Amino acid sequence: MKYFFKLIRAKNLIIILMTMVGVAFYLIQSNYYQKVDFNFIDYLLLIFSTMIIAAAGNVINDYFDVKADRINKPEKVIISKFMKPRWAILLHWTFNLFAFLIAIYLSVKYSTLIFVFVHLISINLLWFYSVKLKKKLILSNFIVAFLTALVPLLSVWFFKVLNESTIPYSPFVEESWTQNLDYSFVYFLAICAFVQNFAREINKDIHDVQGDLVTHVESLPIRIGKEKAAYITIILIQIPLILFIFSFYVFEWIHLNKPTMILLLLSGAVNFTSALLYIIKKEATLTWINHLMKWSMFFGLICLYSNSL
């Protein structure tokens, strides 16, 4: 059971859970002045389907990565060592089937194709990423970052479907009434999640160069060198702080309370510290930078809860 949870990346699935619960909590609490339509059971199903699609993606990724992982991280190899490859394939398709059935149920119930479309896109991207796209320069990093940013956006679309009517407005027909919720902060966090994870994927490629060379992966560190790739990483992770300053102070695009401001500034400070560490110690600090980026993303996640206080 321990190896099963490692295979599906249980920690990453918990982050998905916390993100989607956080988005719901934020949207309901920050719009307390109006009635927000929300179905707890259906949203729970959406969270579950998103988590098992991610789990399926992790399984199939490890299935095709066995050769490289034996070089880059032999102690973490599970498939072929603790699980037979055919069971991994079966697990992958079972997870995706259940997730897609949930998407069909939600799409039929709410008369929208958005859930089926997003689930299909996610399932196919994760499959093609593991089979072929992972070896493509930049594209592989972009896909992972895109799918990460898609998680909070999927929650937003759920609320839009339930609260924004497509029926012509009538004061006598309740189904035509629309609740205009403020999604700007969630959009902001989704953009930050994309940038942070794009940078983190490049950082991970720096550590995986040896195995990527054996499996003919064309990563950024292989193409331009580890040092230049690391500089791109530390430049990218400064973008969320810059975006926050412009969004909050210059354009007044988002509205935040003090605890959230502190958390976001702390997240930015962690990323800035990563840049200083690399400038001072170079390659010796790359592992530390990876851990610091995790803390930075954690502070961003907690903002969903703190901004509702």
Q: pLDDT tens-digit profile of 115-149?
A: 999 999 999 999 999 888 888 888 989 999 999 99
Superfamily of domain 183-309 in the CATH hierarchy = UbiA prenyltransferase (1.20.120.1780)
Tokens of 53: 């699609």
Give the residue-averaged pLDDT of 174-198.
84
In the chain, CATH 1.10.357.140 covers: 1-178
The model's confidence at residue 95, banded by pLDDT at 50, 70 and 90, is: very high
Give residue-wise pLDDT tens across range 231-251: 899 899 999 999 998 888 877
For the chain, the maximum distance between any two Cα atoms, rounded to a whole number of angstroms, is 68
CB atoms within 10 A of CB 144: 21
Give the SS3 label for residue 253: coil
| pTM, full prediction | 0.90
pLDDT at 167 over 60: no
Digit-coded pLDDT (tens) for 52-90: 999 999 888 877 767 666 666 666 677 767 778 788 889
What is the spatial distance between Cα 11 and Cα 296, in angstroms, rounded to a whole number?
A: 16
Q: Which two tokens stand for residue 134?
A: 């992972």
Q: What is each CA distance from 7 to 86, 171, 199, 209, 246, in whole angstroms?
A: 14, 53, 23, 22, 40
Across 22-33, average pLDDT: 88
Closest CA to 248 of 193, 306, 307, 188: 188
3-state secondary structure of 194: helix
Query: Per-residue confidence at 165, pLDDT binned at 50, 70, 90?
Result: low
Asked if residue 126 lies in contact with residue 60, where contact means CB atoms within 8 angstroms, the answer is: yes
Range 189-209 average pLDDT: 91
Superfamily of chain region 1-178: UbiA prenyltransferase (1.10.357.140)
Q: Is the pLDDT of residue 51 over 60?
A: yes
Q: Give the separation between CA 139 and CA 144, rounded to whole angstroms.
A: 9
Q: What is the percent of the chain with per-residue pLDDT over 70, rounded to a whole number?
A: 89
Which residues of the chain does CATH 1.20.120.1780 include? 183-309
pLDDT tens readout for residues 262-280: 899 899 998 888 888 887 7
Collapsed DSSP state (helix, strand, coil) of residue 79: strand
Give residue 227's pLDDT.
84
Mean local confidence (pLDDT), 1-20:
88
Q: Is the sign of the CA dihedral 95, 100, 105, 107 positive or negative?
A: positive
Phi, psi (rounded to 5 degrees) for 49: -65, -40
